Chain A
Amino acid sequence: MLKSLRQVIKEQFEYRDLIYRMATFENKGMYQIHYLGSLWQFLNPAIQVAIYWFVFGTIRGGAPVDGTPFFLWLIIGLIPWFFISPSIIQASNSIYQKVGLVSKMNFPVSLLPTIRIIGNSIQFLVMLVILLVICIFYGLEPTIYNLQFIYYLFCLYAFLFAFSLLSSTIATLIRDYQMALQSLMRMLLYVSPILWNTSLITESFTKYGPLIENILKLNPLFYIIEGFRDSILGGGWFFEDLIYMGYFWTLTFAFLYFGAKVHMKFRKNFMEYM
């Protein structure tokens, strides 16, 4: 039943060295044409943080969220988002973009989305260090809850890998999908708990409020971003909400299962759908 899945995962482990080398290489090429070079990797997010802080901070009137200063609350959600959003879009496009180059070689196509995810991870790692500095600056005390950061990091990578495997195949076969995905990602920024606290819904719609919030929770990115906040600010343990945890993992597994299946089915014929 899991033959294609095992094959795809085996390839990732077998070629892990190549994935890493290709990722650093692509990063080098991407920013070479700019004068400021890889500085743009951090200039872009900084500009975005500034504008979101200005707009959404003003709307809130500078009030803290559950006792956390708004800027700190915002940046804990935004930093994973700056990694997730481009990774999903680029990884989905990766097979379409590179298959012409790769098909003439003995190179497993399933590595292409992973290479994009790993390539973006380097920037993500640096931003996490910046986040740590900001946390120290705000005088955040380390707690036992910080340990679950590793669990949520694992959730993040598992989801990104599973989703981009399915997504990259669909994007190669049907080009309209990539357009739809870009719109979807833009929308998800506003319905995830990144820029505003979704518990506001419960206050605004008294009767159906919790139901609406639960609908937003169907978005798996909600789970990851709330998880990052819980692990940094110490909101609660990941095993406290078993239903949500079960939902997230069964969904990720479904993406992985169908992703591996369609990928293996079409991988030999990708060139004919170009």
Chain B
Amino acid sequence: MKTKVSFKNVYKSFELHAKKSEKILNLFAMSKKKGKEFLALREVSFEIHEGETMGIVGLNGSGKSTVSNILAGVIQPTRGSVKINGETSLIAISAGLNGSLTGMENIELKCMMHGLSKEKIKEVTPDIIDFADIGQYIHQPVKDYSSGMKSRLGFAISVHTDPDILIIDEALSVGDSTFAQKCLNKMEDFKKQGKTIVFISHSASQMKEFCDRVIWLHYGEVKEMGDSTEVVENYQAFTQWFNKLSNKDKLAHKNEMLGKQVSHHVEKSPKRNRIKLSLNLFKNIIVLIPVIVMGILLLTNY
């Protein structure tokens, strides 16, 4: 079976800055001070095969959305290798609709940005309207929509842009159960077509029913990976155990886990090749010299 997605020892760290100015200094690598960093992902490795549906479970802040953002190419991993064979499409609650445009116009705009041709857009528009099922509101500006309507429209557009690898990040949690069922049916269709799906959700029943395998992320690490029923049950057992703890113990456990994620030793990326750096500087100077020469000529030309 073909491997569609492969993560190998992926680390993602976010730098924690006390002040805004530190961010700028870090940007130009001028700051020698070592900052703190938060490890959102630590040594995450997994593979997803073609036609497989992979679920990701975990508590809030365990790194689920970081994984989905890396998959969609929104952010880049700090270390480790990520290989994706195919086009990914991320469906999240914040679907990125333009509030001042009407539903119809948003359909056109989003399809356009996904690279669909004019004819193709005309072809899928009735399907999208039908799927979103928001009645006359389709001709109203999106800013007047309820949150459920927005997510319906967003989901309807995303599934009709013909993605290769679908990433669904808690997008079903806003709509009501009838719409969720509609989406699940659509996803079953995708499964039958042999598309690869990454499914992120808090609903244990949807996970068990829908996914082939599940990854349990726990404070940035892969705690378990394997058959969906088994992993989801272990995860549920954990949440039950956690909920039974006293408030003090809960806090202590959380702080212990979060403490592991903050590292004080920032490993700077290895220094760049000196020859390459000076070659770069040389190129920059070559571009700038004519500007300066012409500028001086212009100034003295009277």
The reply on B108 being an interface residue by CB < 8 A is: yes
CB nearest to B91 among chain A residues: A104
- The 8 A CB mask of B114-126 against A (1 = contact, 0 = none) is 1100000000000
Interface pair A218/B302, CB less than 8 Å apart: no
Q: How many residues in A have their beta carbons less than 8 Å from beta carbons of B?
A: 42
Instruction: Give every chain A residue within 8 A of B87 (Cβ-Cβ).
Output: 106
Shortest beta-carbon distance, B25 to chain A, in Å? 12
The reply on B257 being an interface residue by CB < 8 A is: no
Q: Which of A21, A29, A217 contacts B112 (CB 8 A)?
A: A21
Interface pair B75/A215, CB less than 8 Å apart: no
Main secondary structure, interface of A, reads helix
Of B14, B115, B287, B300, most buried by chain A (CB within 10 Å of CB) is B287
Instruction: Give every chain A residue within 8 A of B291 (Cβ-Cβ).
Output: 247, 250-251, 254
Shortest beta-carbon distance, B11 to chain A, in Å? 15
The reply on A268 being an interface residue by CB < 8 A is: yes
- The 8 A CB mask of A196-211 against B (1 = contact, 0 = none) is 0000000000000011
Instruction: Give every chain B residue within 8 A of A21 (Cβ-Cβ).
Output: 112
The segment out of B93-101, B180-188, B242-250 that lies at the interface is B93-101
The reply on A13 being an interface residue by CB < 8 A is: no
The reply on A271 being an interface residue by CB < 8 A is: yes
Interface pair A214/B298, CB less than 8 Å apart: yes
Instruction: Give every chain B residue within 8 A of A106 (Cβ-Cβ).
Output: 87, 114-115
The reply on B73 being an interface residue by CB < 8 A is: yes
Instruction: Give every chain A residue within 8 A of B108 (Cβ-Cβ).
Output: 25
The segment out of A64-72, A79-87, A95-103, A135-143 that lies at the interface is A95-103
Given A247-B295, A272-B14, 15 other A-B residues pairs in contact with their CB atoms under 8 A = A25-B105, A29-B98, A33-B100, A104-B72, A104-B74, A106-B114, A107-B113, A211-B302, A214-B302, A215-B299, A243-B297, A247-B298, A251-B295, A257-B287, A271-B74
List 16 A-B residue pairs with CB atoms under 8 Å apart, sorted by A's residue number: A30-B100, A32-B100, A103-B73, A104-B89, A104-B90, A107-B113, A211-B302, A213-B302, A218-B295, A246-B294, A251-B294, A254-B287, A258-B284, A269-B76, A272-B75, A273-B23
List residues of chain A with CB under 8 Å of any chain B CB.
1, 18, 21-22, 25, 28-30, 32-33, 100-107, 173-174, 210-211, 213-215, 217-218, 243-244, 246-247, 250-251, 253-254, 257-258, 268-269, 271-273
